Amino acid sequence: MAKTFAGGVHPRESKEATEASKISSIPPPELVIIPLSQHTGAPSKPLVEPGDEVRVGMKIAEADGFISVPVHAPVSGKVKAIADFPHPLGRKLPAIQIENDGRDEWIDRSGWSDLTGASPDRVREAVKDAGIVGLGGAAFPTHVKLSPPEGKNIDTVILNGAECEPYLTADHRVMLEYADDIIAGFKVIMSVVGAERGFIGIERNKPDAIKLMREKVSEEKGIEVSDLKVKYPQGAEKQLIKAITGREVPCGGLPMDVGCLVQNVGTSLAVYEALKHGKPLISRVLTISGSAMESPGNFEVRIGTPFAHVISAAGGNTEACRKLIMGGPMMGIAQHTDEVPVIKGTSGIVLLSENDVRMEEPGPCLRCGRCVDQCPMRLVPNEIARFVEKGKMEAAEEYGIFDCMECGVCAFICPSKIRHVHLMKQGKAELLSRRKKNG
């Protein structure tokens, strides 16, 4: 029987347009914009100045602290500017703009012939130096995840291939086209944290990936594939851990609190490429899809490529396009311009027509309890939302607002169309602002 968790919903998958689409590359544009904030933690610090010549893979900004990573030039050319540019998070943030010379000249680089003999510290340093972050969307620095504090023993590593967001199929294709490399990276990750067992979690709507991965790990000691029920948000860390291991991450806790580490399949591939080929994270695979996209597909795209270039190179959008989203429609971020660049956390670009984005005015809560029944974090979303609306922030915190992962299940299932996620974000921001004021 397929494994799963309590709660969740079943939005229309909408993956059929791209699930069979092989990964192809989109040529880099004339100008790339590389934000210094592409990861959880402190922004990177520039190492270059306008006028400097750079080559592909050159480190152009360094990590500023432990929870931070460097960024690298995705093209060769000249640094044109270091300034504030539109960012997918919705505001202008510092970025390095590079004028592409079209030569695609790489820095000198070399990889490791043997990935099994390296010390954990050497692997962590190489992963950090390559600028690798979680490619499932959260973009948390990978070297930090590979460095559990003393006393936090990791016995289980889960490779996340669930990809439960509608429209997105990049992870699916990566598993089909780079299975051996993913597994090689997975074994390194397990070795670094000393884990005895590993699971590759894949939803049942990807039977070809489940079959292939099972064949690939059939001779691997301690690694198995877990087929998961097709349900959103099956790919969320805590829900994935619960489904596969039965362990429950405590409120306010982290996977390491129950001896687990979760990494995305794309991240495992990036770890392999960094160690084996000396390739820093200068590109990623993403899905371009949606009801307003002319030619949906899966593409490898250089970091810093404007959405407009990606969309155009992939075939263009229709005149019916009314909404542009980075990521999937459940947890993705709506964009106000297509000039924002692809960043490390861009798992997809979704373009939707009017029929898919109708906004209905929220009505009064019917006390139906659907949001409570389906909340994967076992919260009471309707009560938390009401507390925020009434300005009762202490009550909202007491009811667990900070445990909300903003998955959108409550808003999706609500018959009154209450904008729960918006209210959750608003409440968290207000509480954090109060904490800052109070020291």
189-209 CB burial, b ≥16 within 10 A, e <16: bbbbbebeebbbbbbebbeeb
User: Are residues 379 and 258 located together in one domain of the fold?
Assistant: no
- Does residue 430 lie within any of the structural domains? yes
pLDDT of residue 118: 86
164 part of a folded domain = yes
Q: Which two tokens stand for residue 38?
A: 């592409």
- Cα distances from 30 to residues 44, 77, 242, 307, 330, in angstroms, run 23, 10, 46, 13, 32
Is the Cβ–Cβ distance between 73 and 379 less than 8 Å?
no
Does some domain include residue 194?
yes
Shared domain check, 388 and 255: no
- Distance, in Å, from the CA atom of 111 to the CA atom of 129, rounded to the nearest integer, reads 13
Chain centroid to Cα 403, Å, comes to 19
* Boundary residue ending a domain (257, 277, 297): 277
Alpha-carbon separation of residue 256 from 11, 262, 299, 364, 387 (angstroms)? 30, 9, 33, 40, 32
Predicted confidence band of residue 220 (pLDDT cuts 50, 70, 90)? very high
- Residue showing tokens 């202490």: 394
CA distance 224 to 51: 51
Per-residue pLDDT tens digits for 119-132: 999 999 999 999 99
Is 126 in the same domain as 243? yes
Full residue range of the structural domain in which residue 179 is found: 120-277
User: What is residue 101's three-state secondary structure?
Assistant: coil
Lowest mean pLDDT among 39-43, 53-57, 148-152, 373-377: 148-152
Q: Kindly state the average pLDDT of the residues 172-178.
A: 98
In a domain, 267, yes or no: yes
Do 264 and 375 have their domain in common?
no
What is the average pLDDT value for the chain, to the nearest integer?
96
Grade residue 117 by pLDDT with cuts at 50, 70 and 90.
Answer: confident
Instruction: Work out the average pLDDT over 283-293.
Output: 97
How many domains is the chain built from? 2
pTM assigned to the model: 0.96
Which of these ranges, 69-73, 204-208, 314-318, has the smallest mean pLDDT? 314-318
Single residue among 246, 262, 277 that ends a domain in this structure:
277
Inform me whether the pLDDT recorded for 63 exceeds 90.
yes
Do 142 and 261 sit in the same domain of this protein? yes
Contacts (Cβ under 8 Å, ≥6 apart) of 65: 41, 42
Is 418 inside a domain boundary? Answer: yes
Q: What is the pLDDT of residues 23-61, one digit of tens each?
A: 999 999 999 999 999 999 999 999 999 999 999 999 999
